[in-house]
Chains A and B, each alone.
Chain A
Amino acid sequence: MMPELGRYAFSVLGSWGSSIGLVLMITLISIYRAKASKAALEALEKNRKGK
């Protein structure tokens, strides 16, 4: 199943690994920040309504 990369294994796997890793990183950070800001806004609005 795994293609024969031969002497190009380091460059091919390095390119794919670094690219997928960086894209995953920005995706997870974006989702985490979105959840945090949503929770903060909801808490703030709840607080205001309670006053």
Chain B
Amino acid sequence: MRLSGRVLPYVSVIAVVLLAVGLIWGFFFTPDDFRQGASVKIIYVHVPLAFLAINIYFMMFVTSLIWLIRRHHVSALAAKAAAPIGAVFTLAALISGALWGSTTWGTYWQWDPTLTSFLIMFIFYIGYSALWGAVDEPDKAADLTSILCLIGSVFAVLSRYAVNFWSQGIHQGASLSLDKEENVSDVFWLPLVTVMAGVFFLFLTLLLIRTRTEIRNRRITALQAREIS
């Protein structure tokens, strides 16, 4: 708690600065794409949120595994704290993706493998949080939600890699790659990476705030239980 309290102000300031620079740069100072026109500006919100939405699920997968193997309470609480953030990022990516699709594909939605696995991942996020709320006993809730998280990770993997190997869908390939040839042009790439870094630090900020809240809530429950007994 002490370390996270010390780190939190720095992480949140970095998030605000990177997001402000990246979003202003992307919206006001980048040109239109020769094919997509001004709709390319959606990339600066859709790609970072979708990227983080998938990676938050992977983080939850790791912390759930740690809970199941080592019974480390903070790891279970970190996964619980991350789920609503992941759900909101996924929903925002779904909405921005649908609006982008309406201009580039002529439809808001299609049962494309990438889109469908992303939607199922969103449902897993909602189910995961609902399960935490439905089970009163904290350790049992952590066990059940961790197992649910492990099952749902299949769809996170599909969402992440379907853009690369599932060529029959309408969703285009990944916008960012380690291979420079496959990347979007530098004029879009630089502000995009800045926003992605900003969204990552925003996630860290929210994760720290929410995990600290979960730890405090645990302590409140323990103190109240002690007073009753």
Which residues does A use to contact B, with CB under 8 Å? 1-12, 14-16, 18-20, 22-23, 25-27, 30-31, 33-34, 37-38, 40-41, 44-45, 48
Contact = CB atoms under 8 A, between A and B. Distances in A.
Contacts of A25: 88
B48 to A, nearest CB: 9
24 contacts: A3-B27, A5-B41, A6-B37, A6-B38, A7-B37, A8-B37, A8-B38, A10-B99, A11-B100, A11-B102, A12-B38, A15-B96, A16-B42, A18-B99, A22-B92, A23-B49, A23-B202, A26-B84, A30-B85, A30-B210, A30-B213, A40-B216, A41-B219, A44-B223
Contact of A19 (B28, B45, B227): B45
Nearest to B87: A26
B204 interface: no
A1 B188 CA distance: 19
B151 interface: no
Interface string B176-188: 0000000000000
A22 B28 CA distance: 22
A27 B202 CA distance: 9
Contact of B95 (A19, A26, A31, A33): A19
Nearest to A40: B220
Interface of B: 27-28, 37-39, 41-42, 45-46, 49, 84-85, 88-89, 91-93, 95-96, 99-100, 102-103, 202, 206, 209-210, 212-213, 216-217, 219-220, 223-224, 227
Given A5-B38, A19-B45, A22-B91, A11 B103 contact: yes
Contacts, number: 102
Nearest to B88: A26
Nearest to B219: A41
Contacts of B39: 8, 11-12
- Which of A3, A8, A44, A48: most chain B CB closer than 10 A? A8
Nearest to B224: A44
B99 A11 contact: yes
A3 B220 CA distance: 51
A11 B219 contact: no
Given A19-B96, A23-B88, A38 B223 contact: no
Contacts of A20: 45
Contacts of B224: 44
A44 B217 CA distance: 11
